[in-house]
Amino acid sequence: MDRDPNNRIEELAREKLEGKSYSRIREELRASGMVAEEVSRLIRQVDERVLSETVEQGERHRAQQWYQAGLILAVAGLILSIGYHAEMILTNLPSLAVYSPFIAGILLMFYGRMVQRKRPDPSPKGPGPIRKKRPYK
């Protein structure tokens, strides 16, 4: 195999995430002349990469959901507080009860952003395109 093994694993993991089955990938690897033991090892590595990518995607999606829920709650709280100050709605409630949805929404938005920053978008492994052209000494 003349390719870098990490690039090959990335390529196969991408194919798997796009919907290709493991049996099809296994058949293609055997057809390329790989030994059964190497194929099994490569499939295990691809499976680990696919599982880790799936977990990371789920965590990013959950963080985005927290942020969106906070945004909706903050906008609803803002509308309530404007109506409260215009003395149109909820005039008999204390002001803390009216402002609490807005505050809770802002806190959820901050939490969602904090989780997103903890897990940034995956950066490519290895040296970047600039380092490949001009390595630092």
State mean pLDDT over 4-32: 88
User: Alpha carbon of 88 to those of 81, 82, 96: distances in Å?
Assistant: 10, 9, 17
Q: For 69-120, write each residue's pLDDT tens digit.
A: 999 999 999 999 999 999 888 888 898 999 999 999 999 999 999 988 886 5
Q: Can you tell me whether residue 12 is helix, strand or coil?
A: helix
Residue 59's pLDDT is 86
Question: Which residue type, as a one-letter code, is found at position 31?
Answer: A
Residue 76 corresponds to which tokens in the numbers above? 């609803």
> What does each C-alpha distance from 115 to 28, 105, 129 come to in angstroms?
39, 15, 28
Q: Are 60 and 119 in contact (CB under 8 A)?
A: yes
User: Which pLDDT value is given to residue 119?
Assistant: 66
Tokens standing for residue 124: 């490519």
What's CA 15's distance to the chain center, in Å? 18
Closest C-alpha among 15, 128, 118, 9 to residue 60: 118
The DSSP call for residue 88 is: S
Residue 129, pLDDT score: 53
User: pLDDT tens, 24-83?
Assistant: 999 999 999 989 899 999 999 999 998 888 888 888 899 999 999 999 999 999 999 999
